[in-house]
Amino acid sequence: MNRTERVQEVLRLEGLADAARKRAAVHRGVLDTEARAELEQHGTAPSWRLPDIGTVALAVSKEAPVVCDLAALTRWCLVRYPSEVETVPQLRAGFPAALAQRVVCEGDVVVDPRTGEIVPGMTVRPGGVPQTLSIRASRDARTVYAAAAEQLLEGLVLVAAEVPGHLDPADVPDGDQ
């Protein structure tokens, strides 16, 4: 298999995966709607046990307190529970990035050129290290591979719809032959 064929196969398989995820999402959505309707109708969360397949359950949250505004809670606790509030020194949000623009790499250490000091807490990320391979399909290629994947999925649906072991009487040879 040459490089072009290998890239085509990657795109074909990724198109298949995308189409399968979309189709699964549709079926999951229908099941979710049915489960929510059952919850509404019966007042209890449904749990469907499907022999040889698994269990489908709709989880229902329980009422519980949650933090929605940490700053407001901290201010309130500072007054009522001061021993439970910690003061943690931290760098200003943009300073690490600004510092990284200013410092220099010398071998395997980072040095502040203003002071000549090695900067603790910073390290050198080596350059030239290969990263993740990226394949960006053209719009036309995505369309073609998505359509091919959709056709494949249609074929799989037809195969799955057939009853295992079922033979059409026309397919069974007569005893005379």
Domain ranges of the chain: 1-59+136-162
pLDDT tens, residue by residue, 108-137: 999 999 999 999 999 999 998 888 878 888
Q: Which two tokens stand for residue 158?
A: 């037809």
Q: What is the pLDDT of residue 171?
A: 61
Give which of 2, 7, 5, 21 is closest to 134, Cα–Cα: 7
Q: Is the pLDDT of residue 163 over 60?
A: no
Rounded Cα distance, 37 and 51, in Å: 23
Residues 6+ apart with CB under 8 A from 122: 99, 100, 103, 110
Range 33-44 average pLDDT: 94
Q: Angle 139-161/3-42 helices, nearest 10 degrees? A: 60
> Structure tokens of 157?
């649906």
Q: Confidence band (pLDDT; 50, 70, 90) for 1?
A: confident
Q: For residues 122 and 96, is the Cβ–Cβ distance under 8 A? A: no
Termini Cα distance of the chain: 45
According to the model, what pLDDT value does residue 50 have?
Answer: 86
Mean pLDDT of 56-60: 93
72's CB contacts (< 8 A; 6+ apart) are none
Question: What confidence score (pLDDT) does residue 34 get?
Answer: 94
Spatial separation of the C-alpha atoms in residues 168 and 162, rounded to whole Å: 11
- Mean pLDDT in residue range 144-169: 73
Mean pLDDT of the chain: 88
The answer to whether 104 and 110 have CB atoms below 8 angstroms apart is: yes
Max Cα separation, the chain? 100
Whole-model pTM: value is 0.61
Band (pLDDT 50/70/90 cuts) for residue 165 is low
The DSSP result for 72-107, as a single string, is HHHHHHHHH-GGG--------TTHHHHHHHH-EEET
Amino acid in position 150: E
Amino acid 168: pLDDT: 58
3-state secondary structure of 168: coil
Residue percentage of the chain with pLDDT more than 70: 88
Task: Note the pLDDT tens digit of each residue in 68-120.
Answer: 999 999 999 999 999 999 999 999 999 999 999 999 999 999 999 999 999 99
